[in-house]
Amino acid sequence: SLFRLKDLEMAELGDSDVHVKMLAAPINPADINMIQGTYAILSPLPAVGGNEGVGEVLEVGRRVAALKPGDWVIPVGAGLGTWRTRGVFPEETLLKVPSDIPVLCAATLSVNPCTAYRMLTDFETLAPGDSVIQNAANSGVGQAVIQIAKASGIKTINVVRDRPDLPKLVERLMALGADHVVTEEMLRKPEMRDIFKSIPKPRLALNCVGGKSTTEMLRHLQPKGTLVTYGGMAKQPVMVPVSAFIFRDLRLRGFWMTQWRKDHAQEQESLASMMDALCQLIRRGQLTAPACTEVPLQDYKAALEASMKPFTSSKQILLL
């Protein structure tokens, strides 16, 4: 195994540092990819895993102004190493979040809901009544897209892989606010036309799969629509018929939350307004944490195994 549970010495608290007691941290696919070395960020080893989570401030260095003991914080960027009970981090690597939101919502806030929010905001100007199509709709990002879109009056067409417990999954996504849930196979069936009797064809498609299902999704996009790719779970390229470019002028774009944060590092406002919007949705009960299984840190091996199983519909969250 690549993992060990280790006791480390706590670093000294510097003037601009913050001593944090971690509360909860999820296991995301990107965390696993980073450890396997198949991600765009490589941590020098040995490293602490985990890019997301929430902690409580215990103590701050004397130059730290924006945080105080008792505050809740989440990582600003990737690579913080959240799978630990305590840590000393530079102040600028942390972002204060309200402590009146559920701990699992805070623990899963910095990656998936932010990705969903940006993709719904930055590529097409969507108005109430417009529609979006996405694959892997039961992923963490997918569940956030459904809920954020619903709160803005945007219709979602959600593509999932066929599976043994499909009716249960469909029911769960509908309960989150999905308008339509279809399997990859249904994308090429005439029944898709019935969906577009009641809602317009999507202007935006969100892809984290690749391969055939993505090509099928593209066929339903409006002319001049945009496909945004933010993952490639099928490990196959995105194939686009030439006609889609020539006759429908479709746009293909990419999105990576880590890059967005780098590009907007100097604009506190854009980050703050996004976090405010997401926390408001959480407070109103319009954005919930994904289905979670809470696992004590010492059972991390079981949690990692569970997170790598196919058709996993529950996110493993380490309780620290």
Spatial CA neighbour of 180 closest among 212, 211, 150: 150
Q: How far apart are CA 316 and CA 229, in angstroms?
A: 24
Is 117 among the catalytic positions? no
Q: Cα separation of 237 and 82, whole Å?
A: 32
Instruction: Give how far the C-alpha of residue 313 lies from the chain's centroid of Cα atoms, to the nearest Å.
Output: 14
Candidates 39, 117, 230, 300; catalytic one: 39
Record the tokens describing residue 255, joined without a space: 């999105």
For the range 214-217, what are the long-range contacts, defined as Cβ-Cβ under 8 Å and sequence gap of 24 or more?
Answer: 214/135, 214/238, 214/239, 215/239, 215/240, 215/241, 216/184, 216/187, 216/188, 217/133, 217/135, 217/159, 217/187
Query: Which sequence positions are flagged as catalytic?
Result: 39
